[in-house]
Each structure stands twice: as C-alpha cells, then as structure tokens.
Amino acid sequence: MFQTGHKKMGGRKRGTKNKRTLLSADELLLNLDINPIEKLINIAESDDASVEQRIRCWQEVAKYTYPKLKSQEIYIDPEPVEPIEIHLVSPDGTVEKL
C-alpha cells in the first residue's frame, strides 16, 4: 500500500506512451495512407536531397529491413605444432637435412 513520503515503485515510467496512444498513431498513418519507410525511400531517391540526407534515409530504412549483427568472440585452442623438417634434394638425388 502507498505511504506518503515514499518514491513511486513499479509501473510505467512518466512519458511512456500507452497502447491506446501507440495504436492511434498507427491508425492515423493507415487512415492517411502514409508509409514512413516508403517516404524515406522517396527522399533518398530524390534529386533534391543532399548526399548526407540520402545516407541518413538509407540508414533508417536499413534498420527495418536488415537485422543488426552482434559481434561474436570465437576462442580456438591452438593445436600443438610439430617441428617442420626441410630436406634439400640435389639433382643427383642426395638428400641433405637442414
């Protein structure tokens, strides 16, 4: 039970949108027939956009079309290496070890 003088515990953080707000934004975009990804692609392909704007648009589109790759560490136990022997063979067939 809540007691005065204590901090709020649990629940949604202040300013977080609830499901109703999120759904209404999606519904608004659908009703207006607006696709944000399509708009970004149109901006990126337009002749009026600067190179920086095009790059930013393509970066945003890539976030929704390609998964982010996570770095992975690979550990390989080195195998014991046996010494390498080098033999010089002369044209007459004699073998000489180094």
Residue 86 lies in a domain: no
Residue 40 lies in a domain: yes
* pLDDT higher at 72 or 10: 72
Tokens 């648009």 sit on residue: 57
Give the chain's domain count. 1
Assign 1 a pLDDT band (cuts: 50, 70, 90). low
Residue 87 lies in a domain: no
Tell me the per-residue pLDDT of 32-74, one tens digit each, with 9 for 90 and over.
Answer: 888 888 888 888 998 998 999 999 999 988 988 888 888 888 8
Residues of the domain holding 43: 19-65
Q: Which residues pair with 87 in a beta bridge?
A: 97
pLDDT at 52: 93
Average pLDDT, the chain: 81
SS3 for the chain is CCCCCCCCCCCCCCCCCCHHHHHHHHHHHHHCCCCHHHHHHHHHHCCCCCHHHHHHHHHHHHHHHCCCCCCCCCCCCCCCCCCCCCEEECCCCCEEEC
pLDDT at 54: 92
